[in-house]
Structure 1
Amino acid sequence: MSANDIRRAIAERLKACRKEREMSLDKAALLTGVSKAMLGQIERGESAPTIATLWKIAGGLNLSFSSFFAGKAGSDFRQVPFPYDADMAIRVVFPFDAATHMEMFEVTLSNRYHQRSPAHRFGVVEHVVAVSGVLDLIHEGRVHRLKPGLAHRFHADVAHQYRAASDTVVFQAIICYT
């Protein structure tokens, strides 16, 4: 999936969601905390959101993160490039499943990237497992250093951060929605 493909997929999903719910851009902006102008630019494919902005949109509209770019179940899920987050790549391992209320990603952070993630909607729990490199997972004022094989579970309805403590880090994240 190219950067243009991801931009188009996000634009189409955002438009479809608003149309299904008969929701104005003003209402979407109010729910997501993302400006009406930015939402319009995203819908028209003029701008690609950062990962943090996409999480705000997903949370505000009560959508899963993977719903913006994951194909149908059984698709070949490659890493998704985010134009404004060049040092962070996400691969959907399992897209959101309505029966389990879960989705799973493999995340790669390069060049000691530091991702700040806004709070997700209430009740969201993340399970993070380090695969390679060293990851600093920061939430509620504490740093949890994860080396390969180590895991941490936390309530993601508070702001949190992922920081590569080595040049490159790969970790898996299972997101559970309530």
Structure 2
Amino acid sequence: MPHVSPDDFTKQVGKVLRKLRKEREMTLEELADLTGVSKLTLGKIERGEANPSLTIIWKIANGLRIPISSLLVESQEVTLLKKSGNSVMSENHSLKLEPVFTTQVQGLIESHKGFLHPESIYKAEAHQPGVKEYITVMEGKVTVQVGEEEYQLERFDSIKFNADQPHAYINHAGETAVLHFVMMYTI
């Protein structure tokens, strides 16, 4: 995915969302009912007037039952990613997520780089049924909470879990933690 300006990225997300909605022959109202995101917000996203937060993008992806990268990346045969790619930010600005790749092999696989800000927490809602997350800490230390259980991960530690339940990423340190996410979706 070539690096584009934030405005162009916002417009790209809107263009992809509109295309997906039209392919499914849905109205904005039907999409709003399906995703839990207001019709007004969806319209602004489609027109490129609103930069959606990570939470909003997850709600849309879960409602449409697609990987989030389907909204963030236009499909290409060859994709070269430079280290400072496009990103989406969580509402509380605790987590910045950069889509990396999406692949289809008996389901969909996507990967992301995540940057969890110092002394912050990112709480994720349950994803669509069957989604599995594989997380590796590339820099720093992170606590991953899955349901009621907490797991302490240090540099190069990994965890796999069913992401169709609430989960959270917690950075207690004073420096940004870098995470590698792989999401597997069943079709």
Length-normalised TM-score, structure 1: 0.90
Matched residue, 1:28: 31
Question: Tell me, what secondary structure is at the counterpart of 2:129?
Answer: coil
Is 1:99 equivalent to 2:102 in the alignment?
no
1:65 to 60, 63, 68: 68
Matched residue, 1:81: 87
Structure 1 position 162, deviation (Å)? 1.4
Summarize the Cα distance change of 1:73–1:87 in structure 2 as closer, same or farther, 3 Å threshold: farther
Length-normalised TM-score, structure 2: 0.86
Q: Which runs of 5+ in 2 are unaligned?
A: none
Report matched runs for 1:99-118 at 5 Å.
99-100=105-106, 101-118=108-125
Amino acid at match of 1:165: H
Matched residue, 1:160: 167
Rounded to whole Å, the distance in 2 between the matches of 1:68 and 1:155 is 22
Q: Could you list the per-position Cα deviations for residues 26-69 of structure 1 after superposition, in whole angstroms to 9, with x for gaps in the alignment?
A: 11111111111111111122211110110110111122111122
Q: Which runs of 5+ in 1 are unaligned?
A: none
Matched positions, count: 177
Rounded to whole Å, the distance in 2 between the matches of 1:165 and 1:10 is 32
Structure 1 position 73, deviation (Å)? 4.4
Rounded to whole Å, the distance in 1 between the matches of 2:15 and 2:120 is 29
Q: Percent identity?
A: 30
Matched residue, 1:137: 144
Is 1:5 equivalent to 2:8 in the alignment?
yes
Amino acid at match of 1:177: Y
